[in-house]
Structure 1
Amino acid sequence: MSRPARRVPTAATAPAITPVYRVALVSGANRGLGFEVARQLSERGMTVLLGARDLDKGLRAARKLAGALGEVIAVQLDVTQQDQVDTLARWIEITYGRLDVLVNNAGAFYDPAANPSGTAIAPVRDAMETHLFGSWRLCSALLPLMRRHRYGRIVNVSSGCGASTTDSASCPAYRVSKSALNTYTRALASELDGSGIVVNAVCPGWVATDMGGPGGRPVSEGAAGIVWAACLPEQIASTGGFFRDGQRIAW
């Protein structure tokens, strides 16, 4: 994870709350960065589907957000399981008939002590299953609900750690899988350009979470950049970019 930039989106700089009814899905949202993204989206009036591998943990997290402007509903979601992705997609279609925002946040495998020559293939494969293939599964399953209304905001939570301009031997599984996610982001954005569906990658910076460890900036600041990308209005809805705190960064 990269050190944070100075500029941070705030309530003042983020796009205004839209009066249009929106439904959002956030994967890996029962704690940490995903939970804060769900909280901020719900405070903006969205109905938020809080994805969690462990539904009990998701339900507890959703209860903490009771009373927000938008409803928060826990849904079981392991992004590595195609059957769960397909089941959730059908449920969203039946229940809401739409999905407006998808935040691919589920992640792990951040190991600063690891190096490429000493890392087994298994954790690299697992990282790819979660970061790349998990995001790919969700996008493929849920894009029809966005195409239906010619509107969508897909945010792939990435990291400056996966930028091609970054040289480091640490976190190889995490780094390589996030780099692959960046490439997928650009390819999908190119395919969907002009469709009303905007696809971007966001680096939240080094955030103080269970995965990132102590010393990072507040999770609310890292989440704000993700929420900014999830709420881009039509007039400034750039697609196919890599952002941190609302500012473009190098791929």
Structure 2
Amino acid sequence: MSDNTKVALVTGGNRGIGYELVKQLALKGFKVILTSRNPEMGESATQKLKESNLDVHFLVMDVNDQESIHLAAITVSKEYGRLDVLINNAGVYLDENKKLVTVGPSILEKTMATNFFGAYYSLCSFIPLMEKQGYGRIITISSEYGAMSEMSYPGVGAYKLSKLALNGLTQLVAAEIKGDIKINAVDPGWVSTDMGGQAAPKTPKQAAESILWLATVGPDGPNGEFFRVGKRIDW
């Protein structure tokens, strides 16, 4: 690998927006690590991209498992020696149309485990690799449902709380990191994926395009901000 080839990692990269992010990063010349907790789905998605001569590699990583994330970070360090871009994309949407207090604690716990703690452990494991080279770009795939203003409206409470916490995590980490490392949150909008459903107006390709500019911003680019379609939005 030539010294100037940047390495990117996308969590939950085997389908939907994650898959499209992997593809577009590879088309931009990145060496991309596609992670998924499902080995068969991950391998199959990676193979498909490799057939288009894209520099994509598969790594099993379950964001619900702290040890799995830790081991993945060790592998990335050993095999690539660097990580330039991290996209925390893996997420779940488990809410039924019930009140938060009646939906049952297991739904909230599972949602927080993936959407919040998964991103938190990924940051803990991969930021040291970025700090070693004094450079990194981190993108948190969030949602406008995580905006503070959304908390005044009922519905999808577990999902909303997980994204609110994720937004807070993004701001805290942005305030703490040193060097040319930037972390920003993005709302991809309503996208036609397994999660968004077929009625959604946006394709995964369009969503990925509206996100990826943050992977290559310069040293004067934003840090600790929340974006939708390239525009800053309120937390």
**TM-score interval (norm. to shorter):** over 0.9
Q: Is 1:248 aligned to residue 216 of structure 2?
A: no
Match of 1:165 in 2: 149
Q: Is the 8 A contact 1:202 1:242 kept in 2?
A: yes
Contact 2:11 2:36 (8 Å CA) reproduced: yes
Q: Which residue of 2 aligns with 1:210?
A: 194
Q: Retained in 2: the 8 A contact 1:42–1:68?
A: no
Map of 1:224 onto structure 2:
209
Please say if 1:53 is aligned against 2:16: no
| Structure 1 residues 203 and 69: alpha-carbon distance in aligned structure 2, compared to 1, 3 A threshold | farther
Q: CA deviation at 1:225?
A: 2.2
The answer to whether 1:234 aligns with 2:219 is yes
* 1:62 shift after superposition: 0.7
TM-score by structure 1 length?
A: 0.88
Q: Is 1:183 matched with 2:189?
A: no
RMSD after superposition: 1.5
Matches within 5 A, 1:80-119: 80-111=64-95, 113-119=97-103
1:168 Cα shift?
Answer: 2.5
Matched-pair contact (CA < 8 Å) for 1:153–1:197: yes
Question: Match of 1:139?
Answer: 123
Question: Separation in 2 of the partners of 1:195 and 1:87?
Answer: 25
Give the 3-state SS of the residue equivalent to 1:130 in structure 2: helix
In the superposition, relative to structure 1, how do residues 69 and 227 fare at CA in structure 2: closer, same or farther (>3 Å)? farther
In the TM superposition, what whole-angstrom CA distance separates every residue of 1:163-222 from its partner, at most 9, and x where no partner exists?
A: 002242121111100000000000000011x51100100000000100111221111111
Contact 1:44 1:70 in 2 (8 A): no
SS in 1 for 2:191: coil
List per-residue Cα deviations over 1:73-93 (Å, max 9, x = no partner): 111010111111111111111
- Give the unaligned 5+ runs of structure 2: none
Task: Mark the CA change 1:152 to 1:70 in structure 2 (over 3 Å): closer, same or farther.
Answer: farther
The letter of the residue matching 2:171 is: R
Q: How many Å separate the matches in 1 of 2:131 and 2:233?
A: 28
> Structure 1, unaligned stretches of length 5 or more?
1-18
Percent of aligned pairs with the same residue? 38
Task: Kindly tell me the number of residue pairs found equivalent between the two proteins.
Answer: 231
| Contact preservation (8 Å) 1:45, 1:69 | no
What is the TM-score with the length of structure 2 in the denominator? 0.94
Q: Alpha-carbon deviation of 1:226?
A: 2.1
* Other-structure match for 1:30: 14
